[in-house]
């Protein structure tokens, strides 16, 4: 949970709130700068979340060869986030939305559970919001990215709550 109170999840069709967050490499970026290059999947997570640990290697498959940018948004500190990325093979850029800062992006997007993934279009509109793990929604994102996400030996559930 991003904060101590429940938030209302940003709805499909809503304008995504802009944010400025640090990247793991020490630079900063804004959502406006990210979507200027095209649609982006924003994936909010915590390193201790088992469903995030399931989801993120698949999100990395979308990011690598596909046409859809993926950005992780960690609710943990830089050291723990780097270790999570190493352990689960995450190569896409990761932003830090830390507790010390009051989780500004998580709260603005209405995150109450992780993982939560938003597809934000170039114009800033949210075209998809996915809480938890949904195989069907992951396949939809893969279609948007132009990649085949699942391999024959992948044994993945249809759905898992975040």
Summarised one tens digit per residue, pLDDT across range 8-21 is: 999 999 999 999 99
Tell me the C-alpha distance between 138 and 44, whole Å: 15
23 to each of 29, 121, 144, how far by Cα in Å? 7, 21, 25
Q: How confident is the model at residue 7 (pLDDT cuts 50, 70, 90)?
A: confident
User: Can you give the pLDDT at residue 67?
Assistant: 84
Tell me the C-alpha distance between 21 and 60, whole Å: 20
Mean of per-residue pLDDT scores for the chain: 94
Q: What angle separates helix 135-145 from helix 50-63, to the nearest 10 degrees? A: 20
Class of domain 34-144: alpha beta
In which residue are the tokens 């979340």 written?
49
pTM of the model: 0.94
Summarised one tens digit per residue, pLDDT across range 103-138 is: 999 999 999 999 999 999 999 999 999 999 999 999
Q: How confident is the model at residue 64 (pLDDT cuts 50, 70, 90)?
A: confident
Summarised one tens digit per residue, pLDDT across range 118-127 is: 999 999 999 9
Largest CA distance in the chain: 42
Q: How confident is the model at residue 24 (pLDDT cuts 50, 70, 90)?
A: very high
Give the helix/strand (H/E) hosting 70.
strand 69-74
Q: How confident is the model at residue 3 (pLDDT cuts 50, 70, 90)?
A: very low
Contact 42, 30 (CB under 8 A): no
């Amino acid at each position: 949970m991003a904060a101590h109170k429940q938030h209302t999840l940003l709805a499909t069709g809503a304008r995504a709130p802009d944010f400025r967050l640090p990247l793991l490499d020490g630079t900063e970026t804004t959502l406006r700068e990210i979507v200027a290059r095209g649609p982006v999947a924003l994936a909010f997570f915590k390193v201790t979340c088992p469903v995030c640990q399931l989801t993120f290697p698949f999100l990395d498959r979308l990011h690598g060869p596909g046409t859809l940018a993926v950005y992780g948004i960690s609710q943990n500190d830089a050291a723990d986030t780097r270790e999570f990325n190493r352990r689960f093979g995450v190569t896409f850029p990761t932003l830090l939305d830390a507790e010390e800062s009051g989780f500004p992006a998580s709260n603005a997007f209405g995150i109450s559970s992780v993982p939560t993934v938003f597809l934000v279009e170039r114009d800033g509109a949210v075209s998809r919001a996915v809480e938890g793990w949904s195989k069907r929604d992951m396949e939809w994102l893969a279609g948007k990215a132009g990649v085949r996400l699942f391999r024959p030996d992948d044994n993945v559930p249809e759905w898992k709550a975040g």
